[in-house]
A and B are shown apart, each in its own frame.
Chain A
Amino acid sequence: MGCYLSTSNKVQKPGYEEPNVLASETPFTVSEVEALYELYKKLSNSIIEDGLIHREEFQLALFRNKNKRNLFADRIFDLFDLKRNGVIEFGEFVRSLGIFHPNAALEDKTAFAFRLYDLRQTGYIEREELKEMVLALLHESDLMLSDDMIEAIVDKTFGDADTKGDGRIDQDEWKAFVSKHPSLIKNMTLPYLKDITLAFPSFIVRTEVEDSEV
């Protein structure tokens, strides 16, 4: 088996997709997609060597600890796992990271953040969800605030964002709120993606890009 794999370039790993196709659907160039594949191989074989990113592998990469569950990291994993089959495949990895590209559309970043914070996927960010996330952050940062103060902070923000006053933030309200506070989607841009080819240059040798495609 191993012998067969190593002698043929054509055998594709599960979930693998053509870099050309992924480049055409994302802000990445073919070279960047190939560089991301070098990263993907590393991440997807760190615990279970099956070429797919499992939740533990995602946690290991983010926190240096495979067992550390975190509300927000869980949400990101679930959003990356477009097929909802419990693993992040290469195509899902590249398409999702495309949203984090500095050149990606702000609308995509805003929409991604909305889905992220819509913890129970009801199509709305509810007050309870906002409070749950604030509590999680205060807990992980070791910040102590009285219940009254937490309620006040949540009330204030919710009041500002829920302009229709129906007790939940819908996508339009979210868009308006983000355009007033652009720093809210700061996390949706990763400067690292700009020089990804320099970070994982081993693709230079392995590239399958024909000169005619340039």
Chain B
Amino acid sequence: MCVAENDAVVGEEEEKVLVPCIDKTTERKDKIPSGVVLLGKYELLKLLGSGAFAKVYHARNVVTGQSVAVKAVSKKKILKNGYTAQIEREVSIMRRLRHPHIAKLFEVLATKTKIYFIMEFAPGGDLYHKVAGEGRLPEDLSRQYFRQLISAMKYCHSHGVFHRDLKLDNLLIDENMNIKVSDFGLSAVPKQIRPDGFLHTSCGTPAYLAPEILSKRGYDGNRIDVWSCGVVLFALDAGYLPFNDYNYAVMYRKIYRGMFRFPKWTSCELRNLITRMLDTNPNTRITINEIMIDPWFIHGGFMDSVVGFEPELDNYLTKVKELNAFDLISFASGLDISGLFKDPSDSGFVERFLSRERVERIVEKVEEVAEIERVVANKEENGCGGVRVDGSDGNFIVLVGVYRLTVDFVVIEVKSMEKEVESGERFWRDKLRPVLIELAGK
């Protein structure tokens, strides 16, 4: 049953172009003075693009050799308009976002006149250029990218962060042909001065804006992001934008009315999904959670495999099988000075037990509890008796390390990571801890 087309179609012929903007590609091959190294750390290699307030460079960390993108923003306008507090807030948000499909902000450098945002570099360019250059994507590839996008959105929304400016240009492709959503968290900063504003100011297409924004009604970040994702999905499949016109007044009218037409190749299931995402009524528009059970979305089976992604976790477990006296000492709370950097509100917990059980037996027990509670437990591959337990929504991480201390005894160490400590603590206190106490014979 394919009713979507009739509901949505209008009579006029659409412009079959991606963006009605001629000077969209402003990539000039400007010469960078050779040997420019920002603060002795980032060597600028190539100008990727520039605009009124910002320039983006491909650069290299001279210490580690890592490729990065550097967005250089002029401070003048930001300070004059009093947006500094906002930038600080947004930087703090960006710092907390860790997801395989979100381009990471590594650090920020500053001089008296400029701010440099050091970001993850995606060598594959952005989806705008890919679709503009190579045309529409095969349906399966659209689905793969779209799933990654929705996974990133779900993660951000669950952390109270909305993108508000999703578009093909913000979806980058990394070396493994996966999506990286860029500029998450910089969204409250007014558009024209955002670090990447340069890519859009010359053009500033409203083609991705939800109708409730155009009508300047109050809006919900969740719902406008879903709308923009709908525009993105349409564009990937069609090779052009659903709402488009050189005349913005005409474009606005199409958006208000939800007037768009599918190309003939769009499958029924996909039409249904896009139609539900491009619902002009935000209250009846499909939600992220509903998208994740949509037939087109889950076609062929889908599991959000990126729950609880936390790349720097390696540092938290002692990777040894046997503890010597100095290993034992290194557990001391007074030796962990990370407290200096933490907000008093993000506290984890740590607890240790002695047990006469075998390491393997304890690891098995932890896995059993995790299975009963339907949370994910991952064993360390190195056989060091480490287990990582992830809450079902990535809302907590509990790490369990088991180390041999003497012939008779092992030490069991349990740590929870920041994030939403409460749910982790509940799992720990009510479920896992009683089991370990039994093993410890405490």
Contact = CB atoms under 8 A, between A and B. Distances in A.
Binding between chains A and B: yes
A62 B36 CA distance: 40
Name B's interface SS.
mixed
Interface string A180-201: 0101101101111111111101
A45 interface: no
Contact of A29 (B79, B109, B329): B109
B335 interface: yes
B312 A201 contact: no
Nearest to A42: B340
Nearest to A31: B109
B109 A197 contact: yes
Contacts of A74: 334
Contacts of B92: 198-199, 201
Contact of A153 (B63, B114, B344, B406): B406
A181 B326 contact: yes
B334 A207 contact: no
A103 B88 contact: no
Contacts of A62: 333-334, 336-337, 339-340
Interface string B56-89: 0000000110000000000100010000100110
Interface in A21-45: 23, 29-32, 34, 39, 43
A33 to B, nearest CB: 10
A25 B53 CA distance: 34
Given A61-B340, A62-B334, A136-B332, A186 B315 contact: yes
A210 interface: yes
Most buried by B among A32, A74, A160, A195: A195
Most buried by B among A30, A71, A116, A197: A197
Given A100-B337, A140-B332, A214-B111, A153 B87 contact: no
Interface in B84-121: 84, 87-88, 91-92, 94-95, 105-115
Interface in A51-95: 61-64, 70-76
B334 A70 contact: yes
B330 A187 contact: yes
A1 interface: no
Name A's interface SS.
helix
A31 B91 CA distance: 15
A149 B406 contact: yes
Nearest to A62: B339
B340 A204 contact: no
B416 to A, nearest CB: 16
A80 B341 CA distance: 16
B55 to A, nearest CB: 13
B320 A195 contact: no
A108 interface: no
Interface string B313-332: 00100111000111111111
A202 interface: yes
A192 B341 contact: yes
Contacts of B63: 103
Contacts of A23: 39-40
A200 to B, nearest CB: 9
B330 A186 contact: yes
Interface string B340-384: 111010010000111000000000000000000000000000000
Most buried by B among A43, A73, A133, A186: A186
Contacts of A138: 328
Contacts of A191: 312, 315
Contacts of B340: 39, 43, 61-62
A195 B354 contact: no
B16 interface: no
A156 interface: yes
A133 B87 CA distance: 45
B110 A198 contact: no
A207 B110 contact: yes
B405 interface: yes
B110 A204 contact: yes
B38 interface: yes
A111 interface: no
B111 A210 contact: yes
Contact of B38 (A156, A196, A207, A214): A214
Contact of B88 (A136, A193, A201): A201
B34 interface: no
Contacts of B339: 61-64
A75 to B, nearest CB: 8
A186 B334 contact: no
B94 A205 contact: no
B84 to A, nearest CB: 5
B344 A211 contact: no
Contacts of A47: none
B215 interface: no
A204 B87 contact: yes
A29 B41 contact: yes
B108 A211 contact: no
Interface of B: 38-41, 63-64, 75, 79, 84, 87-88, 91-92, 94-95, 105-115, 312, 315, 318-320, 324-342, 344, 347, 352-354, 405-406, 409, 411
5 contacts: A71-B332, A72-B329, A140-B332, A192-B341, A207-B110
Given A197-B108, A198-B105, 18 more contacts: A29-B40, A31-B109, A34-B110, A39-B340, A75-B334, A133-B329, A141-B331, A153-B328, A154-B325, A184-B330, A187-B335, A195-B106, A196-B107, A198-B91, A201-B88, A201-B92, A207-B110, A209-B111
The 8 A-B residue pairs whose C-beta atoms are closest, nearest first, are: A72-B334, A73-B334, A157-B325, A70-B334, A198-B95, A157-B324, A29-B39, A192-B341
